[in-house]
Chain A
Amino acid sequence: RKEVEQDPGPFNVPEGATVAFNCTYSNSASQSFFWYRQDCRKEPKLLMSVYSSGNEDGRFTAQLNRASQYISLLIRDSKLSDSATYLCVVANDYKLSFGAGTTVTVRA
């Protein structure tokens, strides 16, 4: 079983829509959680951390459910520039484990 699993999508949404997707992780002792963004053929970049109480960063909301071992990302009022692959990242011991990513395409 993969340490971090994501629905690959793609999620195709119109501008202004809300899109949400989850990621599940297998290690219940995982310590920290993050979302990265990766544009096509580019390097990944940190989008935001995920805190136990949930947190927002502008139009982005991240939630953590330790009991069910999943984290989620919600994007409100989608922009064309939000089109990217979103990588779920889980920290365990010495390393970060990356999911394969969820692709979001926002259309005009």
Chain B
Amino acid sequence: DADVTQTPRNRITKTGKRIMLECSQTKGHDRMYWYRQDPGLGLQLIYYSFDVKDINKGEISDGYSVSRQAQAKFSLSLESAIPNQTALYFCATSDEQGGLNTGELFFGEGSRLTVL
């Protein structure tokens, strides 16, 4: 089983619908992240959390919200989905030495979201 699991892996929805993407990890890491990937733009940070009580906005948080339900779970919500939120979404984790120090993030397999 993967250390970082994302559900759903693929989702097609309509404009205005509420969508939740879920992420769970078995690595025991405190730090969790949500990124989106668009062709030609690279990965962009949406939100990050350094522990259960810590939630921070990333570069592109507008239109998104998150919930850190437990150390192992970090979910991303689109309250009212719009077509330009069509993208590949990745959840990632790191330990305290990861991220800036070792550069090592552990990614889930991605959730492909299409908003019609």
Q: Which of A's residues lie within 8 Å of B, judged by CB?
A: 2, 4, 8, 31-34, 41-46, 49, 87, 89, 91, 93-101
Tell me the dominant secondary structure on chain B's binding face. Answer: loop
Which B residues are CB-close (under 8 A) to A95? Answer: 45, 48, 58-59, 99-100
A97 to B59, CA, bound (A): 10
A41 to B10, CA, bound (A): 12
Q: Is A87 touching B105 in the complex (CB atoms < 8 A)?
A: no
Residue on B nearest A90 in the bound complex, by CB: B103
Q: Is B102 touching A49 in the complex (CB atoms < 8 A)?
A: yes
Q: Is A87 touching B42 in the complex (CB atoms < 8 A)?
A: yes
- Knowing A87-B43, A91-B99, A100-B41, say if A43 contacts B107 (CB, 8 Å): yes
Q: A43-B107, A91-B103, A99-B42 are in contact. List 5 more A-B contacts (CB 8 A).
A: A31-B100, A34-B103, A45-B107, A87-B42, A96-B99
